[in-house]
Amino acid sequence: MKRVGVALLLVVLASAVLAAAPARGVGAIEGAVTDKYTHQPLFAADVVVVGTTLGGITDRDGRFAIGDVPAGSYRVTVSMMGYEVTAVDDVEVQDGPATTMQLELCPRVLDIGLDVLVEASHFRRDSEKPTSFRTLTPQEMRYSPGAMEDVFRVLQSMPGVSPADMTNSNLIVRGGDPSENRTLFENIEIPRALHFGRPGGTIGGISIVSPSLLERVDFLTGGFPARYGDKVSSVFEMKLRDGSSTDYSTNINFNMGGFSLAADGPMPGGGTMLLSARRGVFDLLTSTMGVPALPSYWDVVGKVTYDLGSSNRLSLVGFYFPDDLEIAADPEEENRHGMWPGLDLERRDHGRAVGLNWRCLQGERGYVLTTASHVSNSWTTSRGTEQEPGLVGDAIREEEFQLKSELNRKLSDRVNVRFGVFARQIHSEQNTWSVSDTMASGEVIPSYRVTYNPDPTYKAGSYLQATVRPFSRVSLTSGLRYDYYDFTGESKLSPRLGVALSLTDRTTLNAAYGHYYQTAAPWQVASHPSNTTLRSSGSVHYVAGLKHLLSGNTQVSVEAYHKELSDVFVHSYTSRITTNEGSGYARGVELCVQRKMSKGLVGSVAYTYSVSVRRDGASLPEYYSEFDRPHNLTLVGSFAPTDKWRVGAKFLYATGSPYTPIIGSEQVDGEWYAVSGPKNSARYPDYHMLDVRIDRSFQFANWKLMAYLDLWNIYGYQNVTLYNYSIDENGTVTRTVPDEAPRMLPILGLEARF
């Protein structure tokens, strides 16, 4: 509790020193409004700053500018004849650089004689994604308790999503492996967006992209349409905001996750830029947690945008990050069996992505978006002793050159079509080596050295997707996707179908169906020569749900899903062979009540009941997947008593994940070994924690300071996600809990905007 007291004292002292901040000045709001489906600029859209007499009308380029806005936080609404009214909350205006907004309006199809409720909604609807779709704004990401401004930790509060553990940002979506989630960064497909992640691993520390750089995040947990492929669980899309076209601004942020500096503003020739650099300080965090590790990281994220006339826009985007991790061996573990105890660890990871997006408007009915990109990742690991540092290790490099183009065409007010083609050249190298090891069960992993360096291969394909609105209350999205993988010679057809039926102006019935495939990753193929024949794993999604809008800012939703899994990858750690003999299913029901960002109390209640089952062969028994969490409950609430203060809390409860227990021991050749019970037949204790966050903002003449205290696991409960076993000379098995996760963790953050 001493750490909590120190952190609280810092916040109180800062408030006392800064309480005499001068009165707020005035700022501006600028941006652009476009049609969601055609990207055409919308002329004469009405933009209003709610609670004031201020507003503006968009010009023929869809742009607007509202000046002399008193510094503070506002709700902004956008309306136009023939479109749904859109509302954006917590738009922060400061004395100085203008606040930039990029807004998309969704067309509304009207039938003659039909009464329509015209009300600004906080919930972004997308007829192409009728089920399992949610959008997060930067404000929702920033103020979320227990998230440390990490978008992935915010998503862990969503229905159908389970956390891995307190120190992990990976997403377990509807009982699926984190490697089954597709991540897109500005339309570039990237293998990961987390520091300290690994191919096939379930560990990830913190997001590469800070929420302050994002315009929005779209998250689909199932039933996604045909334009998304090669993953079977979820899709996560990040869209960076554009820099200001009129003013330069600077953002300085510091918390226990890192120190960052971001800048944006106009570029010569009429363009805009956004650039961020961050240095991690996880060494301080792990020191607080008592973990014997010194991880460090950097990341750089950038975006430059130019409009070439009224029809063409070019955006150059990219990121780069290096991760370093060193862990000294624990001398007390030298006599334990399995996974090379007593060895020092060194890791060096690098990732980069760069892409060029060219959007070309096609008259008034559509556009073509073409993306060319290069993505590269490398990982090196070395485990050993001071005398023999390289007993176990790997050196991995993966890179892809991607080219894809999509035509989006509005054939009529009721029909919208997408047609896309894509190709990716893939090159990978993997060198892995290990001395022999004996597991706690007595199984021997023989020594090996694998060199995997195949010729470059490619993936290619196309998709056709149509959204039809035959009536104002009915929307149908159908699609067909074709994928070809040169390495295995596989061809896959993936039909998709989604439907949305508006029972009333506030109530919508949704359903989706689709086939999904995921090719074997290079790390899965590399471990053994026979793995080169691996087929794609498959999943069929069935989703149905109901959404009801209680008001413009409050929504209730219920959704049921079933995923049938086939050709699931099954890996043997002793032989290193992977097969497609697995099968299984995941099903569940999700309930969510959400009140979006607005003045007063906001938050959500999300409950999921789910089952995730696997079978490693037709003649083998079923077992619960390691990602099976039957009950998940998340309560999130936030209250802003004034414009300067905000207090929030999050309570998370989840059933403990399954594990294979040690049920006894046996002696072989004078050595005691553990005897395992049935696979995943036991569960860790239930997982729960309470996080509390306090925010305080200070407005100065030309800049704004924001401070927060985020208290994780405030009541200090030790969540168990791993057991260690040891066997003494008499064969007695002792189970212990690693004391690695913090009982309670205070995080203090500061952000200055100029």
* Domains defined along the chain, listed by start: 133-753 (2.40.170.20)
- Residue 528 in contact with residue 510, Cβ under 8 Å? no
104 or 118: whose pLDDT is higher?
104
With a pLDDT cut of 90, the percent of the chain lying above it is 40
- Cα angle vertex 582, ends 487, 379, to 5°? 50
Tokens representing 36 are: 């969601």
Helices (H), 471-620: 522-526
Q: CA of 94: how far to CAs of 47, 98, 699, in Å?
A: 19, 8, 7
Mean pLDDT on 68-84: 85
pLDDT range class, residue 336, cuts 50, 70, 90: very low
pLDDT range class, residue 450, cuts 50, 70, 90: confident
Say yes or no to pLDDT of 746 above 70: yes
Q: Which of 242, 241, 278, 273 is nearest to 261 (CA)?
A: 278
Q: Which of 499, 478, 496, 494 is nearest to 544 (CA)?
A: 499
Residue in the block written with tokens 């301080």: 284
220 or 289: whose pLDDT is higher?
220
Say yes or no to pLDDT of 562 above 80: yes
Q: Which contiguous run of DSSP H or E holds residue 79?
A: strand 72-79
Say yes or no to pLDDT of 493 above 90: yes
User: What is the bridge-based pairing of β-strands 704-712 and 687-699?
Assistant: antiparallel
Q: Can you give 676-725 as a three-state secondary structure string?
A: ECCCCCEECCCEEEEEEEEEEEEECCCCEEEEEEEEECCCCCCCCCCCEE
With a pLDDT cut of 70, the percent of the chain lying above it is 88
pLDDT at residue number 224: 93
Least confident of 250-254, 375-379, 445-449: 445-449
Mean pLDDT on 693-718: 87
Say yes or no to pLDDT of 373 above 90: yes
Least confident of 430-439, 466-475, 690-699: 430-439
| pLDDT, tens digit (0-9, with 9 covering 90-100), for 217-233 | 999 999 999 999 999 99
pLDDT range class, residue 581, cuts 50, 70, 90: very high
pLDDT range class, residue 457, cuts 50, 70, 90: very high
pLDDT at residue number 110: 58
494 or 143: whose pLDDT is higher?
494
Measured over the CA atoms of residue 143, residue 144, residue 147 and residue 150, the dihedral's sign is negative
Instruction: Count the Cβ atoms, other than its own, within 10 Å of residue 601.
Output: 10
Contacts (Cβ under 8 Å, ≥6 apart) of 481: 226, 227, 229, 461, 462, 463, 493, 494, 495, 496
Instruction: Count the Cβ atoms, other than its own, within 10 Å of residue 462.
Output: 16
Q: Which of 176, 166, 208 is nearest to 191 (CA)?
A: 208
Instruction: Give the predicted TM-score (pTM) of the model.
Output: 0.88
Instruction: Count the Cβ atoms, other than its own, within 10 Å of residue 346.
Output: 16
12: helix, strand or coil? helix
Mean pLDDT on 257-278: 90
pLDDT at residue number 643: 77
Say yes or no to pLDDT of 256 above 80: no
Mean pLDDT on 14-29: 57
Mean pLDDT on 556-579: 92
| pLDDT, tens digit (0-9, with 9 covering 90-100), for 606-655 | 999 999 999 999 999 999 999 999 999 999 998 888 878 889 999 999 99
Say yes or no to pLDDT of 113 above 60: no
Tokens representing 363 are: 């008259």
* Dihedral angle over CA of 522, 526, 531, 533, nearest 10: 50
Return mean pLDDT, the chain.
Answer: 85
| pLDDT, tens digit (0-9, with 9 covering 90-100), for 502-541 | 998 889 999 999 999 999 988 889 888 888 899 999 999 9
- Residue 433 in contact with residue 448, Cβ under 8 Å? yes
pLDDT range class, residue 20, cuts 50, 70, 90: very low
422 or 17: whose pLDDT is higher?
422
pLDDT at residue number 10: 45
Mean pLDDT on 243-256: 85
Say yes or no to pLDDT of 722 above 60: yes
- Residue 538 in contact with residue 231, Cβ under 8 Å? no
The span from the CA of 227 to the CA of 225, in Å, is: 6
φ, ψ for residue 325, nearest 5 deg: -145, 130
| pLDDT, tens digit (0-9, with 9 covering 90-100), for 154-192 | 888 889 998 766 667 888 899 998 889 999 999 999 988
Say yes or no to pLDDT of 355 above 90: yes
- Residue 173 in contact with residue 159, Cβ under 8 Å? no
Tokens representing 719 are: 């969540």
